[in-house]
Structure formats: C-alpha cells, structure tokens
Structure 1
C-alpha cells in the first residue's frame, strides 16, 4: 500500500468510528431525555424505562432529531413547551458528550 492508501484507510476508519460514537451518544441522550419526560408524565421504574425506549425508537424514524422533538412535544403537551424540550435535549447532549469523549491529559 502507498502512503496515500494508508491515509485514506485511516480517514475511513476515523469517520466510521466517529459516526458510531455519535450514534451511541444520541441514543444515550434520547434515553436520558425519555427518562426525564417519563418523570414529567408520572411514569416510574419499568414504565419509565419502557417510555424511554419509545423515545430512542422515535429517533430512528427520520434523520436528525426533529422526530424526537415532535414526539416529546406531543406527549408533553400542557406540561412543557417545545423550547424547554429543545433546551433539555441540548443540555443532555452536552452531558453525554462529556461522558463519552476521551479525556486529554
């Protein structure tokens, strides 16, 4: 292999790794978001976990996070507005990013 081929392969591997990390981070964020919403809806224990799974699954419907936002907006109508949901999504994504990013010494 040439140096160019090696660099191309390394780039492809990094891209795949980054995409996998992003997917896992979004799934983790959605679970935490689902647990937060479940609490607002009065769900506890297994019911809260089951609801969180529906939020994770909702994210698989369309690319992006709008499908999750739409689900939560419908489910939390009268309890929390869309802006508060969006803020919680952002805050949880920042939290999850800190959890999964490697620390640099």
Structure 2
C-alpha cells in the first residue's frame, strides 16, 4: 500500500463518518421538532412519539429541509408563524448536533 492509498482510504472513511453524523443529526433535529410541535398541538403520551415520527419520515420526501418545514407549517397553521418554525428548525439543529457529538464521545 502506498501513502496515497492510505490517505485515500482515510479520506473515504472520514467522509462516510461525517455523512453518518449529519444524517443522525438531521433525524434527531426532526424528532425534536416533532416533540416541540406535538406540545403546541396539545398531544400527550404516545401521541407525542407517534407525531414526532411523522415529522422524521416527512424528511424523506425530498432533499433538503423544505419537506419538514411544509409538514410543520401545515400542521401548525394558525398556531405558529413561518419565522418561528424556521428559527426552531435552526435551534433544534444546533441541539441535535450537540447531542450527537456528546453521544460519540
């Protein structure tokens, strides 16, 4: 094995690791958003978990965050404005990343 091969393998491993962490953080953010929205909607108990999972699965409709935003905006229409939803999405991404990093340590 050459040094180049070793570097290439290390780069590929880092890329895969970073992609995995990014996916986990986005899924965690979506669950946290779902729990936040469920509280606003007055859901309790198992309904909170079930609703949060619908938010997580809404992220698989298309690339990016707009599918999650549309889900939340539709469900929270008249309860929360667009700016609040987008701010909460950013806030929850920071929290999700922190949680994932803490778990990896």
Q: TM-score range by the shorter chain?
A: over 0.9
Alignment of 1:1-105 (within 5 A): 1-101=1-101
Alignment length (residue pairs): 102
Task: Write the distance in 1 (CA, Å) between the matches of 2:8 and 2:57.
Answer: 34
* Structure 2: gaps (5+ residues): none
Q: Helix, strand or coil for the counterpart of 2:72?
A: helix
Runs of 4+ residues over 4 Å off in structure 1 = none
CA RMSD of aligned residues (A): 0.9
State the TM-score, normalized to the length of structure 1.
0.94
Task: Write the distance in 1 (CA, Å) between the matches of 2:88 and 2:19.
Answer: 23
Partner deviation per Cα, 1:15-68 (whole Å, 9 max, x = no partner): 000000000011011001001001111111111110000000000111111100
Task: Write the distance in 1 (CA, Å) between the matches of 2:64 and 2:19.
Answer: 13
Deviation at 1:14, TM superposition (A): 0.4
Task: Write the distance in 2 (CA, Å) between the matches of 1:90 and 1:19.
Answer: 19
Task: Write the distance in 2 (CA, Å) between the matches of 1:84 and 1:39.
Answer: 15
Task: Write the distance in 2 (CA, Å) between the matches of 1:92 and 1:40.
Answer: 16
Q: Helix, strand or coil for the counterpart of 2:60?
A: coil
Task: Write the distance in 1 (CA, Å) between the matches of 2:49 and 2:70.
Answer: 19
Task: Write the distance in 2 (CA, Å) between the matches of 1:21 and 1:49.
Answer: 22
